[in-house]
Amino acid sequence: MKKAILLTLVLAFASCANPTATPEAVEGVGFFKPMPEEKFIAGSDDITDFWMKYIEAHNNRDIESIKAMSADSIYVLGPDGSELFTNVQQAELLEVWFEAADPKWDTYWAMPYKAVPSGAEWIIAGHQVTETVEGEESVSLQMIDGEIKDNKVVRFFVYAAQTPAE
């Protein structure tokens, strides 16, 4: 009898320790209108770690690392509606921006997520971006939604807002 109770407790604990084994986690939540069958589950912090290294490369002005971490045919949609289609275009824009505004990213939240059934891995992250142009500092808030595949950023979308006046 004691063995049966112990086995029951072990099985109950094991099922609680592995939330991805539940049908709800596999089914996912939410929706994506262009792909009605797509749902989402929490992703791996490996994606978060990768994203933080990507942002660190930006803060370090390491164009070569940024290019190496970006897919050759990366797609970037900027907050002003501008689009980039290659990591070469991205590097050229960043070189100009780094020189003109010295942007610095401070990531204040991030959440990796995974699409099911496609398996696409994404991260959505909030950043405080400080720029200094001609000695004047400005701060904006950016939310970036990015897809990462095979340790490469393949696309991301940037949404921006000005910080509230103090």
Domains defined for the chain, CATH in brackets: 39-162 (3.10.450.50)
Query: What is residue 26's predicted lDDT score, i.e. its pLDDT?
Result: 65
Please, what is the average pLDDT of the chain?
88
Q: Which two tokens stand for residue 10?
A: 């072990």
Indicate whether 28 pLDDT > 90. Answer: yes
Q: Which of 115, 122, 128 is nearest to 146 (CA)?
A: 122
Amino acid 142: pLDDT: 97
Write the pLDDT tens digit of every residue in 67-88. Answer: 999 999 999 999 999 999 999 9
pTM, 2 dp = 0.82
pLDDT of amino acid 6: 36
Widest pairwise Cα distance in the chain: 78
- What distance in Å separates the CA atoms of residue 113 and residue 128, rounded to the nearest whole number? 21
Tens of pLDDT, residues 88-124: 999 999 999 999 999 999 999 999 999 999 999 999 9
